[in-house]
Each structure stands twice: as structure tokens, then as C-alpha cells.
Amino acid sequence: MQAAALPDDSILHTLTSAERPLPSPSVVALELMRALDRRDLGMRDIANIARKDPALVARMIQLANSAIFAGMRPAVAIEEAVLRIGTGGLARLAIAMSLMQASRASSVEGFDLRRFWMTSIQRGLVFQYLSQRVGKMPSAEAFSLGLLSDVGLLAMAVSLGAEAVAPAETVDAQALRDWQRERNGFNQDDASAVLLHHWGFPLVLAQAARARPAHEPQQQGREARLAECVALSRALELRTEDAASDIPAMRRLAEHLELGEDDLQSMLASAAQDMASMASVFDMTLDAKEIDAEFDRLRRALSSPPLQIDTLAEQLLIVSPDAELRGSVRRVLEAEGHGVMECEDAEAAQAILQVEGPRVIVLDWADAEGVAALCRRLRREKGPRVYVLALSRETEQKGVLSALDAGANDVLFAPVSSQLLAAKVQTGARATRVLAAAEAERMHSLRTQRSLEQRNAELMQAAGTDELTGLGNRRALDAFLPTAFAQAVSDRLSLACLMFDLDDFKIINDRFGHDVGDQALRAVGRVLRQQSRGMDFVARVGGEEFVMFCPQTEQAAAVSVAERIRTAIAAPQDDLPPMSVSVGVAVGVAGYVNAAELVRAADQALLQAKRQGRNRVCVAPAKMPQ
């Protein structure tokens, strides 16, 4: 039975009162966390707090320009970063960033600090993608929880020494946590939960880091689902060569969260894609070869077929009209641990084989004609998947050859040596198990390949979707635009670019709160979706920035669409403050060198609309073909 953990205040006291100082978040990061509880503070106030730490501001702007949060224009100010990342995500990521910087001053013999943070970043990415599928948690907040869900391991290593976090011998994840509790009074999950709550994380998020023992019944509700997501992201984390992944536990968690192996492989693929860029935000350098090697090891472990106990190969069938012979063979084989069925003739054997399906069959060759027909039928239908041992009373070559010609694997002469019979059957059973396992692995690989192909297509769609509005995101735009522009050039058709910016969005956020701000963005997304055609492409590409591309659309039609959208957004909407958008329009491809130039023209027209008073449509000057 697992030992109970110390009370939370005792755990915190143990960690913070040790001789070696515990790495702690910066003062600014903790102030940002406290600011989340104040309703009177807006986005500008959050930005001003962040400015107290210039290094943090630089990291947050870099994060806002990463693949996950990038907009049409680079973020250059902390306000833009707050808008894209969100106040909650920014504050919690500030905890992680400052903690990583502080930990670099700590040197713990026997503890690989670089690997700890590399694994933490990968776990954060996996948890982020996982939460999008089952938890609907904002990206930045999900990433921060996954990133810090094992911070207790770091705290224990620094405060108590590497000898306090792992025994000398390698053990599995649950045994490790049991050992930690026995030795220290708490384990790394307990420490993680205590520290996260101490630093200002909501209790429900902090407790998600405290894993439940595997024998506890699965609970329902958001708290249990969060805890299972944390547990699954831990099971999917990168491991060293000598650390085995708990694949069965991983599959059980995934099944309860209604995720298949292809979903897990897709999340790993997404994490691998974003690993290097996210690591650079945390001032860590990872090269492509290192990332590929780490993820390939985990993918291979996950792709291995589930280990199943094959009972069919241990079930045997004896076919003989001689009851005494059947009895003697049964006693020998049952003594070896085999399950034995028996019948008198080939007809009865066929009925048993259709229902039970044993793969090791002992045939009395006394009725040579009947059992030979049965043996041939087995070979036609089962091929090498069954092992047939013939028992012959004839020592002449003719009898042996007839059995082998009918398809028997081997022949023994009656009376049978007990040791030889047991050895032959054991060899046959082993051969059928190996063949069955190879076929199962091949079928598993084929299913996995087909599933991955399907899920990769779904992943590409999911990775290109803005989770707040359901529109495309910057990643989807980067995939769409080069092809669309090239097609327009090839067909000599117009391509219209419409850029939208929600006016005074920062004021909406500050005055009414981020929940209302999110509702406003969703409302804009709905209007854009309603006003677009099937061939049009619509995306949210920044905090309050949207873009629409309309193939085969001339300037007059593009301006008409822009005005229609502007009017619809400006119309009063229930439960939302007054809103308006500024719109920039650029049309044509012949006069533009590339797609980026077309986008810049629309962006300049948008800035002109802002300068002229907002809530209007401005059109970029037409460019003559070059």
C-alpha cells in the first residue's frame, strides 16, 4: 500500500528550509501571478508589471512571434505579446521562464538539468496539444502546466540532493514515486502540486500535477480529466535509452480519454515540429538530429504492438480412436502445463477446430486416410499457423512419408517417449506463438500506418485551426498562400487580400475583461465565416487581426465584401460592447512580385484606414504588371 504524503505545509517547509536554496520564480513573475486575481487591472497594467523585467519582456515577445502565436506582423511590444498569449498564460509562463533562469545557478551532482528542461518543454507541448483535444484549455496556460507539472523533481534534487529523487536501481514510474514517499515523506508529484499552488496556480491546476495511484478508480469531472491529461503527458515524455516507457499504462490512459494510438503519434509529431523553436524561447539550443533521435525512440516504443498472452498456442487437440493412447498423451502434456482437448476421429476434430481453434494438433495416424484428409485441409486453410504431430505405429518409411506428405510437421512412433513427446509439442507451440506474434505485429503496423495517414491529415487541419474562433491560423495561412498565389498567376486571375483589425481591442479588454474580449473575437470570426465563399480562405493571424483571401475576385467585388463585413461587425450585438473593424484591401497578382508583397499592400491599406479614423475600408493602389 502506498504511504501517505506529508501535509502540504510540511512539504513546502522541507523544500524551502534545506541548506541548498530552492530555485524560485522572480519577483516580477510572482507579481504577475498575483495580478491575475485583481479585477481592476487590465492588459496595460499587466504589461507595465512585465516591463520591470526587460529580459522577461524580450522572451515574451519572442514567444508571441513563435509558430504557435505569430500574427501577420511581428509583435514588437509587450502589449501585443499579452494580447496574443493571454494574461493567464503570460503570468504562468513567466514563472517557468524565471524558474529556468534561476535553476541554471544550481549544480546538482547526478542530476541532468538540461535533460530535465528539455523533457519539460516536450511535455508542455504534448499537454498543449492534448488539452486542445480533450480539455479545451488555452494554449499558453496548457503549455505552462505541462512544462511545470514535474517541477517538484527539480526542487527535490536541488534541495535534498539527487540521491533523494531516485534509487540506485532503475524502477518504473509508480515504483519511483512510492520509493520517494517512503524515503522523503513525499514524492515529486506531491512537491510539484505544493509548489505550483504556492506560486499562485489555481488549486485545480496544481492538484492535477499530483498523480493518483494506478489502482484508484477513474473519476469523472474536469479535475480528474486534467489529472489524466497530466499523467498521459508524463507517460509520453522523452526518456533515456535505459528508461523504459510504461506503454500499457499509456494506452489505458489514452483509451479513457478516448484517444487512439494514432492520436498519440500525431501529438508527438506536432511536439517534434515545434520543439526547437520553443526551446529557443527558453534559451536552449536543440538541433534537428537530437530531436529526431529522442522522438524516434518514443515513437518506436509506442508503435510496438500490445503484448498479449496467447492461450491458443498452449491449447492442444489429440485425435485418436484409442482411448488409452489419448489418456497417456493427455497425462504427459497436462503435466507440462498444456490444456488438452481430445476426440476420436477427424470429423469430430473438425468441429472442435472450428470453435476452439487450437494451433497444436496431435494425430494418431492409425486411421491414415481420415487424418490425412484432415491434415491436408488444415494446411490449405491454416498454412504454417498450426503444428501437426503425427503418431505412427508403423516404423516403415512408407507410413512416415505419407504423414509428412499430408502436411504433418513431424512424426513420432508409438509407444511414445514422454520426454520426446513433451519436447516436440513444446517446440511446435513455440513456433506457432512466434508466427502469430509476427503476423500480429505486421497487422498492427499496417493498421498503424493507415491510421497515421488519416490522423496526419486531421492533424494538419487541427494544427492549422485557431482554437478560439475556429478559423485558420498563421500556420494554415503559410500553407495556403504560396499555392493560391501561384495558381492565380498561372491562371491569370485576380486574388484579393482583405485584412481586418478589430478597432480599440485593447480598450475592450481593459474595460470589459478578457472574457468579453474573447467573445468579441469569436463574433468577428462568425461574421467572416458567414460572409465567405467556399473557395475563400479566412484566418485569425494575430491577437485581433484577421485575413481573408478571395480567389477570382476583382477590386469592386472585394471592396463590396469588405464593406458588408465591416457593416455586419458594427451592428449592435447582444452582450457585446460596440465594435468596429478597419479593413485594408489589395487586389491582383500581376503587379506583385510574390504573395508577401500582396499581403504588405493590404497591410499598408489597413494602416491607412486606422490613420483615417478607423471603422472604414481602404484600398491599396493598383499595381501595374511588371
Residue 153 sits in a domain whose CATH number is: 1.10.3210.10
Q: Residue 255 — very low, low, confident or very high, per pLDDT cuts 50/70/90?
A: confident
99-108, 226-235, 259-268, 545-554: lowest mean pLDDT where? Answer: 259-268
- Mean pLDDT value of segment 109-129: 89
DSSP class of residue 130 equals H
Confirm whether 3 is domain-assigned: no
Alpha-carbon distance values, 590 to 136, 481, 601 (Å): 43, 15, 13
Residue 66 has pLDDT above 90, yes or no: no
- Residue 530 in any domain: the answer is yes
- Using 50, 70 and 90 to split pLDDT, how confident is the model at 451? low
Burial class from Cβ neighbours inside 10 Å (0-12, 13-18, 19+) for residue 461 reads exposed
What predicted TM-score, i.e. pTM, was given to this entire model? 0.60
Segment 192-243, tens digit of pLDDT: 999 999 999 988 888 888 866 444 445 566 777 888 888 888 888 887 765 5
* Residue 316 exposure: Cα atoms within 13 Å on the Cβ side: 31
Domain boundary among 105, 128, 149: 105
pLDDT score at 461: 58
What are the C-alpha distances in Å from 499 to residues 65, 359, 443, 496, 544? Answer: 19, 68, 49, 10, 11
Centre a 10 Å sphere on the Cβ of residue 116 and count the other Cβ atoms it contains: 18
pLDDT at residue 620, as a whole number:
92
Q: Quick one: average pLDDT of 460-464?
A: 61
| 168 & 269 share domain | yes
540: its cell numbers? 485569425
Q: Which residues are catalytic?
A: 544
Domain membership of residue 380 (yes or no) is yes
Rounded mean pLDDT of 496-519? 87
What is the pLDDT, as a whole number, of residue 387? Answer: 92
Cell of 100: 529556468
**Average pLDDT rounded to a whole number, residues 496-517:** 87
Task: Tell me how far CA of residue 159 lies from CA of 14, 47, 110, 165, in angstroms.
Answer: 8, 33, 13, 10
Q: Which carries the bigger pLDDT value, residue 623 or residue 202?
A: 202
Q: What is the pLDDT of residue 51?
A: 92
Q: In the predicted model, what is the mean pLDDT of residues 48-61?
A: 91
Of 284, 302, 227, which Cα lies nearest the Cα of 257? 227
Same domain, 175 and 88: no
How many residues are present in the chain? 626
Tens of pLDDT along 385-397? 899 999 987 766 7
**Greatest alpha-carbon span in the chain:** 108
Does residue 486 share a domain with residue 559? yes
Alpha-carbon distances, residue 318 vs 73, 347, 369 (angstroms): 78, 13, 17
Rounded Cα–Cα distance for residues 20 and 154 (Å): 12
Pairing of strands 410-413, 387-392: parallel
**64 and 132 fall within a common domain:** no
Distance CA 172, CA 586 (A): 59
Domain containing residue 515: CATH number:
3.30.70.270
DSSP-derived secondary structure for 213-230: PTTSPPP-SHHHHHHHHH
Q: Are residues 43 and 139 in the same domain?
A: no
Would you say residue 624 lies in a domain? Answer: no
Residue 605 is predicted with a pLDDT of 94
Find cell 462568425 and name the residue: 526
Domain of 274 in residue numbering reads as 112-304
Answer for the pair 581, 524: CB distance below 8 angstroms, yes or no. Answer: yes
User: What is the number of structural domains in the chain?
Assistant: 4
Residue 311: the pLDDT is: 47
CA distance 156 to 509: 40
The string of pLDDT tens digits covering residues 558-602 is 999 999 999 999 998 878 899 999 999 999 876 788 888 999 999
Mean pLDDT value across the chain: 84
How crowded is the C-beta side of 283, counted as CA atoms within 13 Å?
A: 14
How many Å separate Cα 98 from the centre of its chain?
26
Task: Say what the pLDDT of residue 306 is.
Answer: 52
C-beta of residue 372 within 8 angstroms of C-beta of residue 301: no
379 and 407 Cβ atoms separated by less than 8 Å: yes
Specify whether 120 is located in the same domain as 210: yes
Residue at 446 is within a domain:
no
Same domain, 41 and 135: no
Residues 174 and 261 in one domain: yes
Q: Does residue 460 lie in a domain region?
A: no
Q: List beta partners, residue 581.
A: 502
Give me the DSSP letters along 200-215: T--HHHHHHTSPPPTT
Read off the C-alpha cell for 613.
Answer: 479614423
Give the pLDDT score at 212. Answer: 64
Instruction: Give residue 30's pLDDT band: very low, low, confident or very high (50, 70, 90).
Output: very high
Percent of the chain at pLDDT above 70?
89
CA separation for the pair 419, 526 (Å, rounded): 78
pLDDT in tens, 487-504: 888 878 889 999 999 998
Cβ atoms of 355 and 323 within 8 Å: the answer is: no
Q: Which of 255, 271, 304 is the last residue of a domain?
A: 304
pLDDT digits 0-9 by tens, 292-302: 888 887 777 77
User: Is 526 found in the same domain as 388?
Assistant: no
Q: In the listed set 304, 324, 341, which residue is the last one of a domain according to the structure?
A: 304
Q: Look at residue 516 and tell me if it is in a domain.
A: yes
Does residue 486 sit within a domain?
yes
- CB neighbour list of residue 170: distance below 8 Å, 6 or more residues apart: 242, 243, 244
How far, rounded to the nearest angstrom, does the alpha carbon of residue 389 sit from its chain's CA centroid?
49
Q: Do 250 and 379 fall into the same domain?
A: no
Based on the domain organization, do 300 and 324 belong to the same domain? Answer: no
DSSP letter assigned to residue 465? B
Question: Is the pLDDT reported for residue 111 higher than 60?
Answer: yes
Three-state secondary structure call for residue 541:
coil
Collapse the DSSP code of 521 into the 3-class scheme (helix H, G, I; strand E, B; otherwise coil) and give the result: helix
Distance (Å, whole) CA 336 – CA 339: 9
Q: Are residues 360 and 421 in the same domain?
A: yes
* Average pLDDT of span 271-290: 86
